Structure 1
């Protein structure tokens, strides 16, 4: 397989970097994260309307660009590099994947066009009260009395505080299902502060909330949705890892100690070389998984688990090295190294920890727990 980018993909990456360099500098990222929505609304409008980032994985018949999860992964890598908060992971990945994989034609026709143009922010209420994204059970229950009603709680819902379209994973008497929430105004929403201030989470409480089923036997579908989410997270982490390396190398050419730039010391060169290896292997793992997701390859579960474990570990290592090699300045609120460090540890928990993905990979490969 060839992971080299096409001319169109290279242009997408180049354009995204140019826009984010102008509109997502350090001060803008912090202002966006501290805003009411948790992201810069004007920047999201620009990314969605002018570049079409939310539409990349959506077929053209539903108002999308008709690309694939590969292009979405490249976009998340660039967003990860600039540490820019956005609802793309919730709306353009989780909710979009749920709608596409559920296959409900009516729901796709109603909801995907708004998601594609960025005017509608969608999310998927999934995680249990223990913070687990399970594919066989949910803390939300769905019962049918003239219509389907949802009761229960979902935690760690990305952009759940302000999403106008809410999909939910719910347990039914027959198993696990996917639902389109019809009355989003009746959902109880509680903001959940996150370690990474560029990520927005909420706890959603359902009490007799009307819903429409998208798929009632959703276990296998949820497995694929989770794999797509893991691929997206890996791409985001790969971009953030590259940012950590670039920040560290740049600082090593500026900081002078004992009359020399610290980057000239052999021991620090070795550490930054190790960081480069982590960055490049993380990107390779993320791109391979994105290729499998984008092409519908049968090895997606293995590649998603591999990328999820490797990219989490790589970013945590790079974030730690970034802080150490910057010295005391890196732990100050004013320096972006603390944003990178928090991103590393927050995303390492999102959709499951690295050790659980290594165990799953071992099972998939038939070699037992890793």
Structure 2
């Protein structure tokens, strides 16, 4: 636990809960009950979606998990010894109540020095991709999960834990209905996958005009749109180069996939301007979470070049539109000062990814990456910016 006390409040943009087995199914309508099940494979519990076992999350019960911050040394120093992911994760721990319930989580937040946080589900990241050919099922499962989140965590727990519901967009009317339902129950932020939207006629961008009624409602509600790292389906494209199955496996090193690891979020942000949504809805507030920031400068450079060559293809300057609406939560090991200079202090958000192994064991240590900044700039990044985005 961290004993560090900082001179400003911390509002963490990236905390996670671990779902229980019934999170996706407790409220699922009877006709969809067989879509998700838990099965035993060689003594281990696995999740099966429509009869297909997924390894995307190897332990979907989360009874045993990697310890928080297990990969800090890996991100700080690399992997000179060529250890496997299992070796890097180290000895697992059993989930504690603070990973499962809001009341004990508040106590843990006090010990960690976190005043407020966005709380993201973990299991939700595999749902949409594995049901992409059945939009109605996607909406049913997403609503079932959101009902469970509201019931167990609530979307606003004591004005300190702001659990983020999932919104999927295949059927626009259902997406608006889901958005209204969540906001009525206190949601201040929503989670939209950084990926093409599956649909009855195939996938398409969430930034196409057909989704304008949804984004208009988002602006009307004033909620923050988050795009958190998820299974965006890009493993299907890398498999075209390598053959074999398309599912990303967590314990297998795949250098080719690592090369394009941030391509999904880069494409998602590019889509916001190339397909016009940020020009048609300039009031949108968007936060890119747990996708790092290494993609930002190359994307802005490319957008500037394309705009110079084809300005008629945009409704305005795409670089300025991104800088106006997009907020980024960078990884602690990146150059945060360089990012802040590029997009502005007001657009950078602290996120610890606690308690995931890729995150920080002591979230307050994130401030070490800001040591070259004055206290005013630090205060914005460590909480002030997110409080403003959520109108708190």
TM-score using structure 2 length: 0.27
TM-score using structure 1 length: 0.28
Greater helix proportion: 1
Q: Which has the higher contact order (CA 8 A, sep 6+)?
A: 2
